[in-house]
Amino acid sequence: MSWEVVIGLETHAQLSTASKIFSGASTAFGAAPNTQASAVDIALPGVLPVLNRGAVERAIRFGLAVGGTISRRSVFARKNYFYPDLPKGYQISQYEVPVVQGGTLTIAAAEGEQVVRLTRAHLEEDAGKSLHEDYHGMSGIDLNRAGTPLLEIVSEPELRSAADAVTYARTLHALVRWIGICDGNMQEGSFRCDANVSVRRQGDSKLGTRCEIKNLNSFRFLQHAIEFEVRRQIELIEDGGTVVQETRLYDPDRGETRPMRGKEDAQDYRYFPDPDLPPLAIDEAWIEREKKYMPELPQAMRARFVATYALPAHDAAALTADRETAGYFEAAVESLGGDRTTAGKLVANWMLGELAAALNRDGRTIASASIHADGLAALLRRIADGTISGKMGKEVFEAMWAGERGGDADAIIAANGLQQISDAGAIDKVVDDVLAANAAIVAEFRAGKEKAFQSLVGRAMAATKGKADPAKVNVALKRKLAD
Amino acid sequence: MIDASIAELSASLRAKRFSSVELTQAHLARIESLDGKLNAFISVDAGRAIADARAADDSIGKGENGALTGIPIAHKDILVTAGMRTTCGSRMLANYTSPFDAHVVDRLARAGTVLLGKTNMDEFAMGSSSETSYFGPVRNPWHLDYVPGGSSGGSAAAVAARLVAGGTGTDTGGSIRQPAAMSGVCGLKPTYGVCSRYGLVAFASSLDQAGPFARSAEDLALLLNAMAGHDPRDSTSLERAEEDYARLIREDRGAKPLADIRIGLPAEYFGAGVDAAVARAIDEALAVFRTLGAETVAVALPNVKLAIPVYYVIAPAEASSNLSRFDGVRYGHRAATYADLADMYAKTRAEGFGAEVKRRILVGTYVLSHGYYDAYYLKAQQVRRLIADDFRAAYAKCDAIAGPTSPTAAFKIGAKSDDPVQMYLNDIFTIAANLTGAPALSIPCGFDRSGLPIGLQLQGPAFTEAKLLDVAHRFQQATDWHRRFPAGTE
């Protein structure tokens, strides 16, 4: 019996505003507890919320990026429940009319490209944090995070595996960073997912009972949590049991999900429109204004890279993983100049080869790479014009990365005398010297030992400390041996 | 000097017939001798008042005084004040002091008023009698066995007993106008959004509005001039050009100053349920308006009878959510012992809130519950629009609507405490203005056989405060009801 897995994700992306969604307090991460909680965030008697337009701008940009409908009028609602880190006793969210409705996200799913439909995206405020350790049996409350702006992005239940769910989350993560609305820092909780998971027998049209796994703040946890949950549900049904609708938590230490609260404990949030906030009106002019801030989107850029630079699709995808990488690529190609296809290919090879390896080795991102796009282009120019060999290029790259000679490719080449020897006279002289000094090997060659030729090339290269143009050495050797 | 209006006091201060310190001391002395009986104040800060008065006298000395410089006032204890506790008449906030001033508190302070203290009220403004306060009931200065009305009964009683020259209240369903009527003073609920709600501890956010109490319509205008104004901290505060609410009052329009005013009389405000003495006083007031040139016309408000049920869905719904923040976690009362978090919440709120507040939280929680929302809250919002439509239609035929503020004069303390529905009916004529957001005021217009005051309500379309105040002022120029003072306390 085969099973179909059905997954929908609810993703909370923290919007990158300097201040909170309904107060002027800072959203900076890592401050001492409760130092970034204003009277509004603490919910002192008499305070009122004022909407941060920056949060709305970011929501509009998201709507534009996914091709959703941006509501001309959306409504903030109160979601009422008691919890010590929820100061007002309600969370201001959007319920019946969200700011963005619909839209799609195209992902590279296991079975090929998949267009995942989005249900909605709505604005809401984050709660504070409860700290249950180190307080001698009491709980600590930190309200710095209370009121942080979030965009909750809800997908339709169209994902069919843990791997596809992760691909969706990664694609969404890349998109919100690409359009600059979220810093995507998962360790700091800026991007976290809830997964709704159910299974059904292949061919069933009715959805199975779902469980919601809360607060998955890494792609690895997302993958493991879903995989565990799918196994659990299938085993449960195959053993004759039934899945109970409930909210579950993933325990990364044990690698399992466990129940948090059941349906019967589901709270009645008593949603109603927040009378402190007028409906959010977004007119055409506002949307047009935000369009001006929209960068070329990754999908479009990918297609353009394939068309303009004749790059393979997977190279184009890798180079558009984030805006910094794409920007680096285009800047380096521009700086290198010449034929676009040749330059594009060369830059792509070096970025995905040496540069990626160096970044990975040092645990850096492209924004903090030791070699800037202009620097890489200066190096590649010397390879393209034959000043140095590709092999020498790698040495120069390492020297640049280490900051030698101010990272200047030409200075490093000159200082170390790395210029390729391609002068015919010089090469002839080297070859003559090698032939004269290695009569035995020449004899082997003449006796029909092909390997002896490579040995002679090697000796010529060694004699020039690798600087001779190997192709020219080859030609010269062949010519002289044929004499 | 304590009998004078704010306008008269201001002129005397300017003429240096007495100082603000002397004026303030006279009022503090009255509080000292009379408030033991009235219980109008929860907090009095004489030191701060004298300091405010000195600063006011300095300004007057430099000729920098405005219409309110040096005038002693009091704030309802639901408007937060830095440095003076704000209790909302509740055990929950019995020891709570705000780190900031409410917008209207700040504006009145900047206008040079002298703050004497904070006035008693129904707990969290939920009530029509000022009996539900954790700090005990307020008594009516006209008769100490009677309630002063509510919920802003402390401010109404303090102005009536001349403990202050003016004061503030808040009005969610009549909480300024009804106590003004029952205490024989003037009270105004401005158009929703004219005064910022920042620092007004929310009861029902879509209905709450702060407004002034005083002994004349002219004084109300002077206080409103200081209180009104846009506040970016309140998203429902309106951005309007500054307005002088006393401008029409200053016009000289001869013997028939209301010649171009049509006063609408809804049959719904003159039917069964209105006490005979109240009906007679209103009729006599209408005769005065006609003498002043006004025309009275019949209008109909067929849906206004639904105002009370609509209000008792919407207001508790909003209140149940607004009062959730009083959970014992960050400030306010917290139970001394509890087993766990749920028990902490339950005990804290059971101990911190009084019966009426709990009743409304329960009602509000119920009407917002899953499966009931459409039948109650949504339906109430729809009827709210029907009521607004009624008023729009009526105002096509008239400039203002007149009637009794309350169907009866004040009742005895305890008389309606056990019957919430009877208590709620006190607000039958005042609630509609909150549901529609329109301005309305109450002025004294007579007394019943027991010598208890009767109030006349004037309502108008949004932003017609200046006109309503002018109509009230012309009435007060022709009558002296507002110049009568209670002897019951002295």
B199 vs B211: CA distance, rounded Å: 13
Structure confidence at residue A392 (pLDDT): 86
Chain B nearest CA to A47, separation (Å): 6
Beta bridge partners of A125: A149
Number of domains chain B is built from: 1
| pLDDT of A451 over the 90 cut | no
Structure confidence at residue A409 (pLDDT): 92
Residue B442: active-site member: no
B133 vs B43: CA distance, rounded Å: 13
A28 vs A148: CA distance, rounded Å: 10
Structure confidence at residue B488 (pLDDT): 60
* Residue B227 within a domain: yes
A360-386 CB burial, b ≥16 within 10 A, e <16: eeeeeebeebbbbbebbbbbbbbbbee
A39 to chain B, any CB pair closer than 8 A? The answer is yes
CB contact under 8 A, A88 and B324: yes
Chain A residues with CB-CB distance to B172 below 8 A: none
H or E element, residue A162: helix A162-178
Greatest alpha-carbon pair distance for chain B in Å reads: 73
Beta bridge partners of A199: A5
B273 or B215, greater pLDDT:
B215
Task: Encode pLDDT of A389-413 as tens digits.
Answer: 888 899 999 999 999 998 899 999 9
Judged by phi (left if over 0) then psi (alpha if -120 to 50, else beta), residue A27 lies in alpha
| Amino acid type, B155 | S
Q: What is the CA radius of gyration of chain B?
A: 21
* Residue B187 within a domain: yes
Task: Read off the pLDDT of each residue in B379-404 and give the average, rounded to a whole number.
Answer: 98
Cβ–Cβ contacts within 10 Å for residue B111, how many?
A: 19
Identify whether the C-beta of residue B443 lies closer than 8 Å to the C-beta of residue B214.
Answer: no
A141 to chain B, any CB pair closer than 8 A? The answer is yes
| pLDDT of A439 over the 90 cut | no
Task: Encode pLDDT of B138-181 as tens digits.
Answer: 999 999 999 999 999 999 999 999 999 999 999 999 999 999 99
Name the 3-class secondary structure at A390: helix
Task: Encode pLDDT of B98-119 as tens digits.
Answer: 999 999 999 999 999 999 999 9
Residue B156: CATH number of its domain: 3.90.1300.10
Mean residue pLDDT of chain A comes to: 93
| pLDDT of B470 over the 80 cut | yes
Mean residue pLDDT of chain B comes to: 96
Domain of residue B138 covers 6-234+464-483
B196 vs B105: CA distance, rounded Å: 10
ipTM attached to this prediction: 0.96
Q: Which residue reads 């009698």 in tokens? A: B129
Q: Between the CA of residue A353 and those of A212, A380, A413, what are the distances in Å?
A: 41, 13, 21
| pLDDT of A295 over the 90 cut | yes
* Residue B87 within a domain: yes
Structure confidence at residue A390 (pLDDT): 85
DSSP assignment letter at A354: I
* Residue B374 within a domain: no
* Residue B478 within a domain: yes
Structure confidence at residue B204 (pLDDT): 98
Share of chain B above pLDDT 70, in %: 99
B222 vs B226: CA distance, rounded Å: 7
B244 vs B373: CA distance, rounded Å: 42
| pLDDT of A480 over the 90 cut | no
Chain B nearest CA to A371, separation (Å): 48
* Band of residue A81 on the pLDDT scale cut at 50, 70, 90: very high
Identify whether the C-beta of residue B94 lies closer than 8 Å to the C-beta of residue B87.
Answer: yes
Chain B residues with CB-CB distance to A42 below 8 A: 330
CB contact under 8 A, B235 and A78: no
A316 vs B183: CA distance, rounded Å: 80
* Residue B105 within a domain: yes
* Band of residue B489 on the pLDDT scale cut at 50, 70, 90: low
Among B5, B10, B43, B76, the active-site one is: B76
CB contact under 8 A, B321 and A80: yes
DSSP assignment letter at B374: I
Task: Encode pLDDT of B228-241 as tens digits.
Answer: 999 999 999 999 99
Task: Please enumerate in sequence order all residues whose Cβ is within 8 A of that of B119, keeping only pairs 6 or more positions apart, or say none.
Answer: B40, B41, B42, B74, B75, B76, B77, B152, B154, B155, B157, B158, B167
CB contact under 8 A, B369 and A49: no
| pLDDT of A414 over the 90 cut | no
Task: Encode pLDDT of A263-284 as tens digits.
Answer: 666 789 999 999 999 999 999 9
A55 to chain B, any CB pair closer than 8 A? The answer is no
DSSP assignment letter at A297: P
Tokens, residue B184? 């024989």
B413 vs B138: CA distance, rounded Å: 9
B116 vs B72: CA distance, rounded Å: 6
E-strand stretches of B217-312:
262-266, 295-299
Name the 3-class secondary structure at B229: coil
B14 vs B59: CA distance, rounded Å: 10
* Residue B49 within a domain: yes
Residue B175: active-site member: yes
Structure confidence at residue A283 (pLDDT): 98
Task: Encode pLDDT of B280-314 as tens digits.
Answer: 999 999 999 999 999 999 999 999 999 999 999 99
| pLDDT of A1 over the 70 cut | no
Identify whether the C-beta of residue A341 lies closer than 8 Å to the C-beta of residue A331.
Answer: no
| pLDDT of B383 over the 80 cut | yes
Chain A residues with CB-CB distance to B330 below 8 A: 42-43, 87, 141
| pLDDT of B424 over the 90 cut | no
B235 closest CB neighbour out of A51, A82, A272: A51
CB contact under 8 A, B100 and A89: no
Chain A residues with CB-CB distance to B206 below 8 A: 275
User: Which domains, from first to last, does chain A contain?
Assistant: 3-289 (no CATH), 298-415 (no CATH), 424-482 (1.10.10.410)
Cβ–Cβ contacts within 10 Å for residue A428, how many?
A: 14
Tokens, residue B450? 């027991």
Tokens, residue A438? 């290695």
| pLDDT of B454 over the 70 cut | yes
* Residue B296 within a domain: no
Among B151, B196, B216, B406, the active-site one is: B151
Chain A residues with CB-CB distance to B366 below 8 A: none
Q: Between the CA of residue A447 and those of A473, A476, B58, what are the distances in Å?
A: 21, 20, 119
Chain B residues with CB-CB distance to A84 below 8 A: 327, 329, 341
CB pairs under 8 A between A and B: 94
Task: Read off the pLDDT of each residue in A82-108 and give the average, rounded to a whole number.
Answer: 96
* Band of residue A470 on the pLDDT scale cut at 50, 70, 90: confident
Task: Please enumerate in sequence order all residues whose Cβ is within 8 A of that of B486, keeping only pairs 6 or more positions apart, or say none.
Answer: B141, B142, B160, B161, B184
Residue B256: active-site member: no
**Burial of B62 (C-beta count, 10 Å sphere; 0-12/13-18/19+):** exposed
